């Protein structure tokens, strides 16, 4: 372990062997649960020293079990590799002094406390930036720091409030949440992008800035075509089950032994689909010739396609349609999804000192992600970090 003293001449603590694109930077991670830790893990894989500051009880996700791996909650393991953990009780004067010193030495600080909550500790942006004007300080909230500051930032709340749940589920059924905390993940991605942009600005200007991300804004951005339909055309989208409002086919269709996702994203793909299914005449039918025609007449077209698909298995159709270039896939459970990634040569799993995890999603030809440290135990690096901060 190589640790520098911080400051303008070279402030970051770095790990031996690290040569990622962000190596040499120090990230003070005061976040917990998902959005912040996901953002800092994405950054951590790219080389900086990420110091995970935890309260005396530790990150909540340490207790979110089952499932577990060697007794540790897999939820926590999934977003905390390549970090060092130190427990600092901000209500303790000595620990608070160390937390402030960490912020003063850091290149990046990220936190997802309720807006304004860190002001009483002198760890808010204005106070930290007054002592460290190069800091890129990222704040993640649920609903912003203005009128929504009192609302806690739970992903399920944002899925409900943003409109996503109104779009998820069967057309004649109740609203459903997505199967993963999708807006926490999107907000984490947005935070990482914002931090990188602010670091680039610092390279040119010499000063940092405050990066703010909230889950509701991330949700509305992530709703893409549905959000655009409303803000640009006044449309309020509704639940359509697995159907797409603007493309057909673009959904699971029944086969002899299950369902197969079948997509015709343009007219050429539809023509190929019809040829492989043995109904080439459908591509010339004026009701189905163009995408807008197929979308308008989906209730007529769907049973014609299904009548062919139910004659063979999903795997059989998958092989033929894939060979012809028609987008399609069986509906997999997660185990099969990981297995497929392996079969495709994507190497989805990395092992860090016996702790399996999903590899970093971005590839680099010159500066690949690193996998130096497994997710840390609570206060695992506390002694060395407190000694460094006290020096």
More confident site: 15 or 388: 388
- Average pLDDT in the chain: 94
- pLDDT band at 16; cut points 50, 70, 90: very low
Long-range contacts of 18-23 (CB under 8 A, 24+ apart): 18/47, 18/370, 18/372, 19/47, 19/367, 19/370, 20/45, 20/46, 20/47, 20/48, 20/367, 20/368, 20/369, 20/370, 21/46, 21/47, 21/364, 21/367, 22/46, 22/47, 22/48, 23/47, 23/48
- pLDDT band at 11; cut points 50, 70, 90: very low
Closest of 321, 303, 324 to residue 260, by C-alpha: 321
Peptide bond connecting 20 to the previous residue in cis, omega within 30 degrees of 0: no
Which pLDDT tens digit goes with each residue over 144-178? 999 999 999 999 999 999 999 999 999 999 999 99
- pLDDT band at 78; cut points 50, 70, 90: very high
Instruction: For 220, list phi and psi in degrees, rounded to 5.
Output: -65, -40
* Residue 91 and residue 21 in contact, taking contact as beta carbons nearer than 8 Å: no
Helical packing angle, 215-222 and 224-233, nearest 10°: 90
Residue 289 vs residues 42, 265, 286, 307: alpha-carbon distances, Å: 45, 13, 5, 19
- pLDDT band at 106; cut points 50, 70, 90: very high
110 torsion bin: left (phi>0), alpha (psi -120 to 50), beta (else): beta
Q: Is the pLDDT of residue 143 over 90?
A: yes
Measured CA to CA, the distance from residue 160 to residue 177 in angstroms comes to 8
Q: What is the pLDDT of residue 3?
A: 31
Q: What is the pLDDT of residue 17?
A: 44
Q: Is the pLDDT of residue 34 over 80?
A: yes
Taken in order 227, 228, 229, 230, is the CA torsion positive or negative?
A: positive
Q: What is the pLDDT of residue 6?
A: 37
Q: What is the pLDDT of residue 7?
A: 33
- pLDDT band at 9; cut points 50, 70, 90: very low
Give the whole-number percent of the chain exceeding pLDDT 90.
95
Which pLDDT tens digit goes with each residue over 231-258? 999 999 999 999 999 999 999 999 999 9
* Residue 260 and residue 253 in contact, taking contact as beta carbons nearer than 8 Å: yes
Q: What is the pLDDT of residue 174?
A: 97
Measured CA to CA, the distance from residue 144 to residue 148 in angstroms comes to 6
**Residue range 342-351: average pLDDT?**
97
Q: What is the bridge-based pairing of β-strands 83-87 and 49-54? A: parallel
Give the active site residues.
Answer: 184
Q: Is the pLDDT of residue 134 over 80?
A: yes
**Residue range 39-50: average pLDDT?**
98
Helical packing angle, 93-105 and 382-390, nearest 10°: 80
DSSP of 195-236: HHHHHHHHHHHS--EEEEEEHHHHHHHHTHHHHHHHHHH---
Q: What is the pLDDT of residue 251?
A: 97
Angle at alpha carbon of residue 77, lines to 72 and 79, rounded to 5°: 155
Instruction: For 171, list phi and psi in degrees, rounded to 5.
Output: -60, -35
27 CB-contact burial (10 Å; exposed 0-12 / middle 13-18 / buried 19+):
buried
Work out the widest C-alpha separation in the chain, in whole angstroms: 79
- pLDDT band at 19; cut points 50, 70, 90: confident
Q: Per this entry, what is the length of the chain?
A: 391
pTM of this structure: 0.92
- Domains assigned to the chain: 2-223+351-390 (3.40.50.10540), 250-333 (3.30.1540.10)
């Amino acid at each position: 372990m190589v640790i520098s003293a911080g400051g303008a001449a070279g402030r970051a603590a770095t790990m031996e062997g690290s040569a990622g694109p962000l190596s040499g930077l120090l990230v003070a991670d005061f976040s917990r649960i998902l959005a912040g830790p996901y953002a800092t893990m994405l950054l951590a894989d790219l080389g900086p020293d990420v110091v995970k500051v935890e309260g005396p009880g530790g990150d909540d996700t340490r207790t979110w079990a089952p499932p577990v791996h060697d007794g540790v909650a897999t939820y926590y393991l999934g977003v905390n590799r390549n970090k060092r953990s130190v427990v600092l009780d901000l209500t303790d004067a000595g620990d608070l002094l160390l937390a402030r010193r960490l912020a003063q030495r850091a290149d990046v600080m990220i936190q997802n406390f309720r807006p304004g909550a860190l002001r009483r500790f002198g760890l808010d942006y204005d106070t930290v930036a007054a002592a460290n004007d190069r800091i890129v300080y990222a704040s993640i909230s649920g609903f912003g720091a203005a009128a929504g500051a009192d609302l806690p930032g739970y992903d399920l709340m944002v899925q409900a409030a943003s409109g996503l749940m109104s779009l998820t589920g069967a057309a004649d059924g109740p609203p459903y949440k997505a199967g993963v905390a999708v807006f926490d993940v999107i907000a984490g991605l947005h935070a990482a992008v914002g931090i990188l942009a602010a670091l680039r600005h610092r390279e040119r200007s010499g000063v940092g800035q405050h990066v703010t991300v909230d889950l509701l804004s991330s949700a509305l951005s992530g709703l893409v075509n549905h959000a655009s339909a409303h803000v640009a055309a006044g449309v309020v989208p509704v639940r359509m089950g697995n159907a797409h409002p603007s493309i057909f086919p673009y959904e699971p269709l029944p086969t002899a032994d299950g369902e197969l996702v079948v997509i015709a994203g343009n007219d050429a793909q539809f023509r190929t689909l019809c040829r492989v299914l043995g109904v080439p005449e459908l591509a010339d039918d004026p009701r189905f010739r163009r995408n807008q025609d197929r979308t308008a007449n989906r209730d007529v077209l769907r049973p014609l396609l299904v009548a062919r698909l139910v004659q063979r298995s999903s795997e059989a159709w998958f092989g033929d349609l894939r060979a012809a270039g028609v987008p399609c896939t069986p509906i997999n459970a997660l185990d099969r999804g990981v297995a497929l990634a392996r079969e495709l040569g994507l190497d989805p799993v990395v092992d860090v000192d016996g702790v399996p995890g999903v590899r970093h999603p971005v590839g680099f030809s010159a500066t690949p992600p690193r996998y130096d440290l497994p997710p840390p135990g609570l206060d695992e690096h506390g002694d060395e970090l407190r000694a460094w901060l006290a020096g």
